[in-house]
Every structure is written in structure tokens, then in C-alpha cells.
Chains A and B, each alone.
Chain A
């Protein structure tokens, strides 16, 4: 009994250890099934609606530079870079041994061609293994700008695109389905996932059904639904606040009285209540345009409701104009927010009614943060909201604060909330990670064989 018991014990121990290590040890192969709302009609990152598709493009295309969670640039296709004094001329040295998915090597010419196609105003030159970029004005944030998905390096031939990313397109049904296969020759090392199957154009409800049925292992979850989804036992992964919801007026205030009324409206909105009740803590109250994690000074912008002061501001104006408030009729979250804003405004003595189209004076908008870099993100927000482009004299935080404050003081925009990006991830997905901006990082993710 003793002679047979020990080997059994050893064998059992080895089996358990093997099983345990299989769950934690990286595992090559397998297909990750994902579903997204975005439905790009082409695989070119240079397209207007690239925010929703950036995770897809990030799997196929690399950029010269990537940003870490603190928004600092790190080498990617560019092994190093340096700027000449004045930050107008930058020189990027390319990484060696990088090839496109069609096997052709990455060259300075192909990089220059790709960047020139996206940024016609830039002067991009190829010089050996280096790419020189000359800007008309000082561009201290050029590396961060090059980290934007739209600046992914693309080889465009005969209407087809090829990148240097970790995955290569295997099957493509525009706006419907995309199947990607891991590249063995990826310069950063072969991904653990064997392939990724992405179903596009799926509503959040359909994604959740597919997830619960086990047909998808990675889906998007609305931030206001994340808490409930987690309560119901799903694995929810969330990013830092990476999307802004704001109330944007179509025009600047026409008088001091209107500016006062806009101030009263901002004061009457209980952002905290919106976050806790409507968003189910799926975000943060926003006093500024950029989230606090990005700038560090976000707390300086007040978010507390002050109905008394709002009523006082309103009382100082003889007659309140009637504002028409527009929102995306297909967005349930925006609808609730708009209706709540209308109630708050009514409590403050303001006149707000729901409107649509050209008759609206203000509109609820959702703007994803384009980058982890605050300067880039603020510029993209201003661009998306139709506000004047912020002017930065340096990359210092003070300069950023002044620029953001200037935008807020224009009273064209009232920030409301910063939303997190949430994903429901199957338990079979291991080593999941995402950027602060909600971008996927699937290179080091693998799948286990256990059933979800």
C-alpha cells in the first residue's frame, strides 16, 4: 500500500500542477470571438469614424510610437527619435526587421508615403533608415500625435491595405465580419492568440446575447450597464474614463445675460446623481473636458450641483430664452440625460425643451478621447465639438490648463460626465489588458480551454 501510494500521490500532484499551470501559463492558438458596434467599410485607418474601429485597426497596423498609460511615448516602429531645437523637425529611426503582412520590408519610403497620405500638410522625408518630419509650427507633441490610430503605417496598393501589426487579415466582409490570423513574423513576437474573429455592426443587446450564449468572448458593454452586467456574474473589464459627454451650444452666448443663463444651467445639473443613478457609476462627473487621470487637475473644475446659485443666476436675468436640446435619438443614455437636464433646468427656472436638428440650440454629444496624450486629446475634443483649437505654447500642464479653461470659459460647452469603456470578457480570455483610453492590448492575451 505504501509502495503504491507514493507514486499515486506524486502522479496526482503532477497532474494538478499541470492543470494549474495550464490556466496561468500562456497558451498559443485558439480563436478569440469578439463583437463590436463599429462597422468599418474598409480596413484603412485613415477614415473619419476611426474611434469606434481603432481597436480593430490596432490589431493590423502599427504606429511609429505608442503611448503608455501615462501618455508617454514609447518606441514602436520607430526605435528612437529626436527633435531638432524648436520642435519643428523630427527624425525617427525605424526599427529593423519589420515587414508588412505581405512580406515586404518596412522602409523609410513606405513610412513616409503612409504619413504623407494622412497628413498632407506635413513634410515627410525618407532618409535611409530614418524618416524626417518637418512641421510648419513647433510640434512638441508630434510623437504622441504619431501614436494616433489614423497615423498607423499602411501600405496601400491596388485598393488593398497591409500593415505591420500582429495580425493579418484572413477573411473580410466589409462592415460585417473580419477574421484575423496571428503573424508568426511579427516584430514584437508572435501573439498567443491564433486568430481573432470579429463580428461588426452588432448592437449592445445582440452582443450581450452572443456573449451569454458563448458565441462571443469579448464584447462591448455600455458603461451604464456595466454594473448590472457585473452583478449578474459577468466579467467586466473597464478602462479609465475615456469618453466625454457634454452639452454643446451651437453658438457662443450672444449676451452677458445668456452667458449667465448658461452658467445657471451648468450649476443646476447634478452630475453626481447622473453618474450614480443614470450611469450606475460607469463614469465620473466631469467639470472639465479632460478626465482627471489624464491631466491631474480635473478636480479644479467644480462638478457639484448648486441649485440655489443657479436660481439666483437665473433671477438676475429678466427673461429666460427657450433652449432646444438635441440628442442622439438612438442613444438611450443620452435620452435620459437630456430629459434629466430638462428637469434640472426647469427647477432652476430655465426653459429647455427637447428638439432636433436645426431647431436645437444645444446638443448632447459623446466624444471618445482620441489619445492618452492630454494635448492631443484636448485638440481632438475641440475639433469634434466645433470649438476653437486650443493653443499650446509648451507641453507644460499649466499651458494645458489654461487652454482647457479658455475653452470652458467660452461657455460653448458644459461638460457633464466622463464615461469608462467597459468590456465583458469571457473567463477563457487570459491576461486581458487594455489601455487607459480603452484600447485593446491582445498581443499578450491567450485563451484557455475551459468553457466559459
Chain B
């Protein structure tokens, strides 16, 4: 289990880069007013067809050839965290159309992991792909912060 939500985000978004995404967008909504935390990782990578998606979510498979033991844990871990914290977990994906993963949880839930080092997560993703545009959009009830690695180049 990851101790920080930002580690979940890093783990999930590394999949986006492995799927040859040109754009990886991480969106975090932290609302005290609605007592909600919503994380979303969207990419324009190669996506998954319905059959693969079903397998990924139920049978813990991985597409990564380097792993002989064939376990895909990342999504299952995030799902478990979201569901434990009165939230939901949703994946939308189609072959050739990218993937969007959403996890929501109750902000004030006693078991909710802290967001942790988002900066470290974004820097790691930038290091993982020189070509992809790694974007962050972070919102609270009153503030908003945006980042795009392509805007720096």
C-alpha cells in the first residue's frame, strides 16, 4: 500500500507514459466545502479495449513484458484506497483513445492517505518522458494552480 496519494498518482501516471501518451494530465480537486478529494489521471496513450480493461480490473494482469509473474497491482491499490475512504474508482478507456482514471474519496475520512509530495511526483514523471507534456491542475474551493512541462521548454 502506498502511504501517499501522490505515490498512487505517480504509479498510475507511469502507466500513461508506458502507453506512449503525449499528454498526461493530473487533476486534483480538494474541496473542504464538499468534503471531497477527487484525483484524475487522463492520458492520450494507446488505451485499452473492453476485454483488456475487464482483465486489468478483475484479474490483476499486466501488459508489461518484463514481469514474469504477471501481476498488475497499481489500479487495484488505488481502487482499494478510494473504496476504503467512502469514495469510488472509475476507469474509462478505449483502444487508441487514451485512458482516464478517476478516484474519489472523502477528504476528512480518517483512513485517507495524505496527498504528500506532489512536486516529487511531477518531477519524476517529467524525468520519465522528455517528450510527453506532463500537466497538473490542482484546485481547492478558493485556489487553483496549473503546471505544464511543455510550457517550460
Report whether chain A binds chain B: no
Residues of B within 8 A of A (CB): none
